[in-house]
A and B are shown apart, each in its own frame.
Chain A
């Protein structure tokens, strides 16, 4: 049995320690946000966050996750209360088939948590590992930019003296 801290909750799972996190999320915990794309760390559909960093969950065994904070797209928002990034992806209509989007959002979330004002070049460099086979990359980039603007505006309102 291994305890995993997923979206702030401790989940006890009975799986081999070498099992990739993606399989545990989907097959053991029925958390189907992270997708199986290639299983080889090549496409990014399985991206989740571990201690604030975007990682490929398909090549991350649960044996290395003891005591570390895992965040998946289920931890961002709900259909009634979307997170800023989820809202921005809808507003920019960034999904076509949608298969890559949970991974895209989690990778973007990792960027914006660390850098709330990324340049276009920084967004492109950061998002590079994640692929979208429908080709909505330009909308995805717009969604990330929009989310960053919304977050900055919100934090400026919250603490106007800092601006």
Chain B
């Protein structure tokens, strides 16, 4: 072997090694998108914003990998599955440029220019500034890539036709970044920006029209969330004790407030995410919500104590005494895990809709896995449907000054059937 051929061999070996190492560490394009583009500060800012946007709640399946999508989102028009927003190139958004991402958030279109369904609340995300969208892009593009394909959407005709969404957008989509109101304070504007924009509070807390668009005339007037009632956050708030900014701040961050109740159902992951967000932003959200609620005066005092009287077996009062009073009786229980809120003050019992109270009595309230939090046992199994209905009617009548719920029985039936079919 001469010197020349050995040099050639060395060069070839180096080339092979280079190719191998390239293959081992991923394609150059992939590396270029994922690593060097984002500085730590931007990623951290993006993490905070993603928590305010509660992105993980929809884009993660229960028990699934974070942001890998596939979670079913039920709408009146069928089921939409959330997409994989990890930086995986084939099935996620690994091939998306920053511009593609901004366009999805601001215009509601995917990388190929197809319309996105507004279950992805771009009617709110369009308000988010380019800087903030870019930070969220930096955050999601630095998550672990996951190969995962969401199941196809199951939507009724004609909603299954994406081009029709162009008409929907023309009718209901008001594109454009948030414009500050110079007459208001900086904190008010920050709160309004987060509530109307990234926080997309109205997606649940605003009622929707027949075509699934939020009724702008009833902004935050109370809506729907996964078969729960999303409480009104305007002047029609059903809370008997008017919220203060401090209470709202604590509720949003800790998931409960002693004068209003515990964040349950779809609100729970929201307060969980907000517990990790910087304090000023949560305070701004709380301050803005005080403005949307118009700081109304207190309602007539609710009866906070159960009445004493001759009760018949089968009465709601008897069920209450045996099932509820050990925690919710005249003396409120206090255990290491439980903050018992006076029932008369709870938003769920005072709400115009019985579904939240039904969910809580049926399913209870459980802390997230591995975390501390309020714990209430559910009573499905212990109480029959009739007994549950009797108890709920009693709770409403004796702890609030609101009119009886007309709809306990049908809501109870639907909720129990839905749980059985799961």
Partners in one complex: yes
User: Which A residues have a C-beta under 8 Å from some C-beta of B?
Assistant: 2, 17-20, 38-42, 50-51, 53-56, 58-64, 68, 121, 128-129
**Are B318 and A18 in contact, with the CB atoms below 8 A?**
yes
**B318's contact among A38, A63, A68, by CB below 8 Å, is which?**
A63
Residues of A within 8 Å of B383, CB to CB, are: 60, 64
Q: Is B319 part of the binding interface, using a Cβ–Cβ cutoff of 8 Å?
A: yes
Encoded as 1 (CB less than 8 Å from any A CB) or 0, chain B from 65 to 98 comes to 0000000000000000000000000000000000
State A134–B391 Cα separation when bound (angstroms).
36
Known contacts being A42-B335, A63-B319, is A17 close to B313, with CB within 8 Å? yes
Known contacts being A40-B335, A42-B337, A42-B375, is A61 close to B322, with CB within 8 Å? yes
**A61's contact among B323, B337, B366, B377, by CB below 8 Å, is which?**
B323
Residues of B within 8 Å of A41, CB to CB, are: 326-327, 376-377
Residues of B within 8 Å of A39, CB to CB, are: 326
Known contacts being A17-B318, A40-B326, is A59 close to B382, with CB within 8 Å? yes
**Are A42 and B318 in contact, with the CB atoms below 8 A?**
no
- In chain B, what residue has the closest Cβ to A38? B335
A/B interface sample: 17 pairs, CB < 8 A? A18-B311, A18-B319, A38-B335, A41-B326, A51-B381, A53-B380, A54-B381, A55-B382, A58-B326, A59-B322, A60-B322, A60-B383, A61-B323, A62-B322, A63-B314, A63-B319, A64-B322
**Are A60 and B326 in contact, with the CB atoms below 8 A?**
no
Encoded as 1 (CB less than 8 Å from any A CB) or 0, chain B from 310 to 334 comes to 0101100011011110110000010
**Are A61 and B319 in contact, with the CB atoms below 8 A?**
yes
State A63–B315 Cα separation when bound (angstroms).
9
State A50–B173 Cα separation when bound (angstroms).
52
**Are A59 and B319 in contact, with the CB atoms below 8 A?**
no
**Are B318 and A61 in contact, with the CB atoms below 8 A?**
yes
Q: Which 6 A-B pairs have the closest CB atoms?
A: A61-B322, A53-B381, A41-B377, A18-B321, A17-B313, A18-B322
Q: Is B209 part of the binding interface, using a Cβ–Cβ cutoff of 8 Å?
A: no
State A156–B319 Cα separation when bound (angstroms).
43
Interface size class of B (residues with CB under 8 A): 20 to 34
Residues of A within 8 Å of B384, CB to CB, are: 64, 68
Q: Is B63 part of the binding interface, using a Cβ–Cβ cutoff of 8 Å?
A: yes
State A77–B151 Cα separation when bound (angstroms).
47
**B319's contact among A38, A40, A58, A64, by CB below 8 Å, is which?**
A64
**Are A121 and B63 in contact, with the CB atoms below 8 A?**
yes
- In chain A, what residue has the closest Cβ to B388? A64
Q: Is B387 part of the binding interface, using a Cβ–Cβ cutoff of 8 Å?
A: yes
CB distance from A37 to the nearest CB of B (A): 12
Q: Is B166 part of the binding interface, using a Cβ–Cβ cutoff of 8 Å?
A: no
The listed residue with most A CB atoms (<10 A of its CB), out of B63, B314, B384, is: B384
- In chain B, what residue has the closest Cβ to A21? B322
Residues of B within 8 Å of A18, CB to CB, are: 311, 318-319, 321-322
**Are B319 and A42 in contact, with the CB atoms below 8 A?**
no
The listed residue with most B CB atoms (<10 A of its CB), out of A19, A20, A56, A64, is: A64
